[in-house]
Chain A
Amino acid sequence: MAPKKDNTRSVLITGLGGQGIILAGNIISSALFSKGFDVKKSEVHGMSQRGGSVESHIRFGRTVYSPLIPYGCADYLIALDENEKKRLHRQLLPGGSIIFLPSENRTALPSPRTLNVYLSAVFLRRLGFSKNDISGYMSRIVKKKYIDINNKAIEAAFRNSASF
């Protein structure tokens, strides 16, 4: 029973209902999908939309099996909420990275509602995606009237994420 030797990587996005976790998951997964990865993304809609905790699991690699990240195996934790970050910290692999913006630093955002797009951009930038690419994935997913403000959030991510 040899355990799977594969290079599947796992991204866990977490926050509260209303923060746009699902949208962040859509931007990130569509970006990875366009680069030719096998991608699986999983989240649960329903009760979770009523302000409760929301998680989106994204896995990418050559062949991905489970859409759920095995316990304690997240390579990245993207947290939109402080409490959720603490709660899900144990899902992170030793040496995994956390992508989070403390409330006091959120003044850099064009609006608090864009935190999801901002953090998605920070993450995708780390994987080598360009500003233009990220803006393209975002524009295909968010409502037209919100494209401009989210482009500003992406700009901010490219200005600031060096400090992470």
Chain B
Amino acid sequence: MIAFLFKRLVWGLLVLIAVAVITFFLSRVVPADPAAFLAGQNASEETVQRIRVEHGLDRPLPEQFATYMIGLAEGDLGESIRTRRSVSTDLKQYLPATLELLIVSFVLYLAVSFSLAVLAARRPGGAVDGAIRLITMIGTGIPVFWLGMTLQFFFFYKLHWLPLGARFPIRETAPPVISGFLLVDSLLAGSLSAFRASLKHLTLPAATIVVNLLAVGTRLSRAALIQEQSRLYVRTARGKGLSPNRILFKHILRNALSPILTATTMQFGYMISWVILVEVIFDWPGIGLYAYQSFQVFDYSPVIALAIVSTAGFVIINLVMDLLYPVIDPRVQSVGS
């Protein structure tokens, strides 16, 4: 078990290093000069040069790379030219927003796809199954930005039910930052109205992510459920006189969990990449929007940091899932073997 964990951690580290190296060189081959960008159109050559020197951009590439990697090893993700702060400081500010959106979307995604799958698997090939398949497919077929904008159009411009974007109403004061999760912090501050406001802001971005992933998620869960339904232990359960609901919830679901978990892990990867796009659409102040804004001015470090952080997220999720398998399925002795 320990050996397995160690192996996976080393492996995860290697992946992270690889991602850092690749994104570093990718960002450097872009033929743009962030210093010039930052200095503005009317800046003198001296100013631009000064900024270059300040950020080490005048150094030869191998040296820049070495400096960057050494910094990384010490946990230093570099500096943002745009915000003039260390990337780590920026991340501390923006990461909770992303995590909150990600977690809410993920829970919603699990709940909705699972419920739909249960409904669909009741009678495979039936009308309900067909309707669910059609609707979720449409949801996935719509491009994310278009979906996001359509939702904004209806729920903001037309119905005035939900805000256009951001995490919290500009004119109101947000609860004091404790966890960084507004839903949690507003409850900690004892403010139900702040909680409701945060929830409203979360709704559209989360819905956009969930709708986009629903078709695949539902299909995978449905397939897992249908496969489990035909297993012999289900016949045994019927033979014991159990009700269909009991058979579904006590026997089938538990067994369908492993395949669903596998599928979900993969979905989580997609979710991380959609979050970035959705943050841009909904002006959601998370690391996606942060990296996007940095990218626009060729400010590299935040972009590389985003790549590293999201890869780390994916590595961690994979590890957690691997640790969960033996808990869910006693036949999986040790994940290491």
User: Do A and B actually bind?
Assistant: no
Residues on A facing B (Cβ under 8 Å):
none
Residues on B facing A (Cβ under 8 Å):
none
